[in-house]
Amino acid sequence: MTASSNPHASRIALVTGGSRGLGRSAALALAADGVDVILTYVSDEASAQAVVSDIEVKGRRAIALRLDVGDSKTFAAFADSVKTVLAATWQRDRFDFLVNNAGVGLHANFEDTTEAQLDMLYNVHFKGTYFLTQKLLPLIADGGRIVNVSSGLTRFSIAGASAYAAMKGGVEVLTRYLAKELGARGIAVNTIAPGAIETDFSGGMVRDNPQVNAMIAGFTALGRAGKPDDIGGAIAGLLGEGNRWVNAQRIEVSGGMMV
């Protein structure tokens, strides 16, 4: 049974990188809005299961599956795992929302960035998003939605982010093409572009370095660095019923950085 054939079925979101940071916040915010969650983790199963427990406390169902978004050879097997848990846990063959969130950071000046570093970012951020979405597409319900997580760094430039931002720029272009090609199935595709957020991303630089945190606050209109829940709430809001007509858009959630 698909979600579209049963209007009373629970909505289900698949959130990559849902064990920590922005993905964790998005998973919890979606659960608070009545959405069940499949979340992925790459190594920290204990943290992923803790998120599952937190979601279950909210009265929703959740499953954690291992996935390395930088290894596209595993995507077919991962899609099979998703199909299995959909049938076993929800008696469904489709889910509703895909949030391509999992990622890694890199802070290196252009002249110092190595080919291996660029390949790593490409595999995780662009190739991973591209081919994971492709493999999961048969499992996404008609009328479903996709959110790709990008970065404010595609609009403003900060030294040391050339490779990372370039990959996210590719994701933003991909978003528009997905919206164009998947429109026939009623699937809307959008980009959320966070500003600087207090997480363990890039070694916790924004969260743990007072000088960096103060610098970001100084060029952000709302006067502080972002929190994970600023982004998780925005993702859940974008996937809410009131935003079904939003499509092919880049929505920056940065508190007004560099305006």
Within a domain: 5 = no
Within a domain: 57 = yes
Domain that holds residue 210: 11-253
Within a domain: 258 = no
What is the residue-averaged pLDDT of the chain?
94
Catalytic residue among 41, 122, 164, 177: 164
Distance CA 28, CA 6 (A): 24
pLDDT (mean) for 156-181: 97
Which domain CATH number covers 74?
3.40.50.720
Residue 66, both tokens: 């291992």
Within a domain: 2 = no
pLDDT band at 244; cut points 50, 70, 90: very high
Within a domain: 32 = yes
What was the pLDDT predicted at 207? 77
pLDDT (mean) for 72-80: 98
Within a domain: 249 = yes
What was the pLDDT predicted at 202? 61
Within a domain: 3 = no
In tens, the pLDDT along 91-103 reads 999 999 999 999 9
Within a domain: 192 = yes
Structural domain total, the chain: 1
> What is the CB neighbour count within 10 angstroms for residue 202?
18
Q: 194 near 254, Cβ under 8 Å?
A: yes
The 3 state secondary structure assigned to 174-206 is HHHHHHHHHHHHCCEEEEEEECCECCCHHHHHH
pLDDT (mean) for 121-127: 98
> What is the CB neighbour count within 10 angstroms for residue 156?
16
Does residue 164 have an active-site annotation?
yes
